[in-house]
Structure 1
């Protein structure tokens, strides 16, 4: 807990760099394990007109957040919209960010594959057609489609469907695409406990997905950059000591609030 003091927030886009020492900055950054791009929101107060004019739609933007002695990247995406409105004596510039890179999420395709084709071959072809940058492709079960496979619609959704057929998650995080087992992720060897920022007690949950029951915990901590989609963490509290994989959550910085909430599966 000794490192979790003196909050740090830095927003970078183009040649612009903002931090919470010079400006009031708020954000909400959601994350999850599906391919639907998440929309994050960054609010920066009292930017000059000349600075606001330098913010450009489509530009890459990132947030590094945490604490002076323990910080990391929590968002990398592209600016989707910029609006500025008066808010009392202040002026709030709201930047909405898509957690993805440049590709046409609505792109469609009409194509048929012959029988005896495996899922990985379909995914590789669809990924290429959509222009996705795949960091990891690992299927726990490489399903064989005996009668072939066809697509007549959005490529994006079909990739998700085939991944699910194989017991994998397909998601975009920090401008990279991952298709891998729902239980696998990035092991930062991080222990979340009251000593490292855990707030309250984790809450147990069960949920069903395509006939598969998933069990896990909902947890809240002081803002923690290591917790993102597919992060593997050790959860230690009075109610559980278990290794979990983050499924979804959000990072929040607003007023006095500076925290991360996650749902993580066993």
Structure 2
């Protein structure tokens, strides 16, 4: 754990930059394996009124976290709203952050598409209708809808259904939408063990979903920016030595707490 010292938190938005050396900063940043935007809590203490007034809804905001010799992005999103309140002698400013570019996640659509349209074409058309920007689309089975395709439903739900039919997972990570195999991910060649921050024994789990048995582990470590949705990690402990793909979790900074929790599947 030689690198896991001197905690670093940086918040960047517009022309503002904050860090945990000058200010107390807390956060609760969830991430998961679907297209529904996640809402993160970011609290900064004792900002001036001038600075607070510069925090605007819809403004891009980035949070970097880690350690002096090893830090990275854990959140890239847009400010949803800001509120401020007194807590004793301290003033806390709560910033709610949506982890995606603005798009209409509730929009419904009634439309028919041409015969022989491919699934990737269809997904792009539907994404365009709700202003959802796709970073990666890689379908294991690019279905051809020979008779065409009709929708009369919430668009984001249909995108997820089509992705599922093609053997893919659809999710948002750091403001980007990804549609690719549940087995595909971002391989940073990161090994999670007691030397790199694993703080508890991983907990094995099994669950039934859509007629399939999903197996994996729940793990907790010192805060690790490399662990996010679709991160591929090598999990090493007394219980297991496995390559797993992260499907959901959270980054936490609160008082003395500075950790990441994940659920990862085999």
User: Per the shorter chain, which TM-score range?
Assistant: over 0.9
**Aligned position for 2:158:** 158
Aligned-residue offset at 1:76:
0.4
User: 2: distance between equivalents of 1:191 and 1:70?
Assistant: 15
Q: Does 1:40 align with 2:40?
A: yes
**Aligned position for 1:218:** 218
Q: Secondary structure at the match of 1:249?
A: strand
User: 2: distance between equivalents of 1:204 and 1:144?
Assistant: 38
**CA deviation profile, 1:88-138 (whole Å, cap 9, x unmatched):** 121110000000012222222211134544322211221222222211111
- The worse-fitting range, judged by mean Cα deviation, of 118-127 and 55-64 is 118-127
User: 2: distance between equivalents of 1:226 and 1:164?
Assistant: 26
**Aligned position for 1:260:** 260
Aligned-residue offset at 1:221:
0.2
Q: Does 1:128 align with 2:112?
A: no
Aligned-residue offset at 1:249:
0.2
Aligned-residue offset at 1:31:
0.3
Q: Does 1:243 align with 2:243?
A: yes
Q: Secondary structure at the match of 1:264?
A: strand
| Unmatched 5+ stretches in structure 1 | none
**Aligned position for 1:67:** 67
Name the TM-score, length of structure 2 as normaliser: 0.97
Aligned-residue offset at 1:50:
1.0
- The worse-fitting range, judged by mean Cα deviation, of 74-83 and 163-172 is 163-172
**Aligned position for 1:18:** 18
- The worse-fitting range, judged by mean Cα deviation, of 119-128 and 13-22 is 119-128
User: 2: distance between equivalents of 1:82 and 1:164?
Assistant: 36
Aligned-residue offset at 1:165:
1.2
User: 2: distance between equivalents of 1:192 and 1:66?
Assistant: 15
**Aligned position for 1:95:** 95
Q: Does 1:7 align with 2:34?
A: no
Name the TM-score, length of structure 1 as normaliser: 0.97
**Aligned position for 2:78:** 78
Q: Secondary structure at the match of 1:198?
A: coil
Q: Secondary structure at the match of 1:196?
A: coil
- The worse-fitting range, judged by mean Cα deviation, of 37-46 and 156-165 is 156-165
Aligned-residue offset at 1:174:
1.0
Aligned-residue offset at 1:157:
1.3
**CA deviation profile, 1:51-79 (whole Å, cap 9, x unmatched):** 11111111001100000101000000000
Matches within 5 A, 1:96-115: 96-115=96-115
**Aligned position for 1:191:** 191
Aligned-residue offset at 1:206:
1.2
Q: Which runs of 4+ in 1 moved over 4 A?
A: none
Aligned residues between the structures:
266
| Unmatched 5+ stretches in structure 2 | none
